[in-house]
Amino acid sequence: MAEDIRLGSGYASALLLLCLNKYADKEQREPIRKHLTLDRLQDDQLRLHYLYVFFCRNELDPVLARAARHLDTPDISLMMRLCQDAKDDRLSKHGKCCDTCLPKKKGGVRTIRARRLPFLQALLRASGKEQDNIKWLKSVMAPKVFSEIKDQAIQRFLNTEYTLLTH
């Protein structure tokens, strides 16, 4: 959370934020969410990833989101529209989008990359797609496919999403 003005530090912080999103829980994300105010989100890459992660998790402060619009970039606008469309079930290829988040195995292992995880969460929380998402999760959590996912954070994520959808 230290201020860093070196070239590329915003991008490095953004990657760290994606990893924190993948491997940490809400209590560990909360200090970052509170610390990164509009003044501290001047770097385009950090702002893009911050808005992406916390918007998809429904943890984005609406006041900050409104204020950040004044610092909008084409990348941020596109990402926010895409994630909002995913949440609102306005994507025409919902299932295909889910599939691209968990690509075919490489070397006998499957994983969801940190940069795709917030988008997948937005897809899995889409209103009106509950039955499709349950079906997709069941196919991913089938023993043959699930055994190819070695990353415990991804296994935990998939189990949590399945539990939320089925209860």
- Give the model confidence (pLDDT) of 117-153 as tens digits: 999 999 999 988 999 999 999 999 999 999 999 999 9
Q: Is residue 2 part of a domain?
A: no
Q: Which amino acid is at 38?
A: L
Q: Are residues 41 and 65 in the same domain?
A: yes
Q: Is residue 3 part of a domain?
A: no
Task: Give φ, ψ of 27 to 5 degrees.
Answer: -60, -35
Q: Is residue 78 part of a domain?
A: yes
Query: Residue 24's domain spans which residues?
Result: 9-87
Of the three residues 44, 71, 87, the one that is the final residue of a domain is 87
In tens digits, what is the pLDDT along the chain, a chain of 167 residues? 556 665 556 677 788 878 888 988 888 888 877 777 777 777 788 788 888 888 888 888 888 888 877 777 888 888 888 999 999 989 889 999 999 998 877 788 898 999 899 999 999 999 889 999 999 999 999 999 999 999 999 999 999 999 999 98
Q: Are residues 51 and 120 in the same domain?
A: no
Q: Are residues 82 and 115 in the same domain?
A: no
Domain total of the chain: 2
Which stretches within the chain are classed as H helix? 9-23, 26-35, 44-56, 62-68, 74-87, 94-101, 117-124, 130-140, 143-146, 152-166
Of the three residues 64, 87, 110, the one that is the final residue of a domain is 87
CA-nearest of 132, 134, 119 to 55 is: 119
Q: Are residues 130 and 73 in the same domain?
A: no
Q: Are residues 138 and 68 in the same domain?
A: no
Q: Are residues 98 and 159 in the same domain?
A: yes
Q: Is residue 159 part of a domain?
A: yes
Of the three residues 39, 58, 87, the one that is the final residue of a domain is 87
Q: Are residues 59 and 108 in the same domain?
A: no
- Asked if 50 contacts 18 with a C-beta cutoff of 8 angstroms, the reply is no
**3, two tokens:** 């201020």
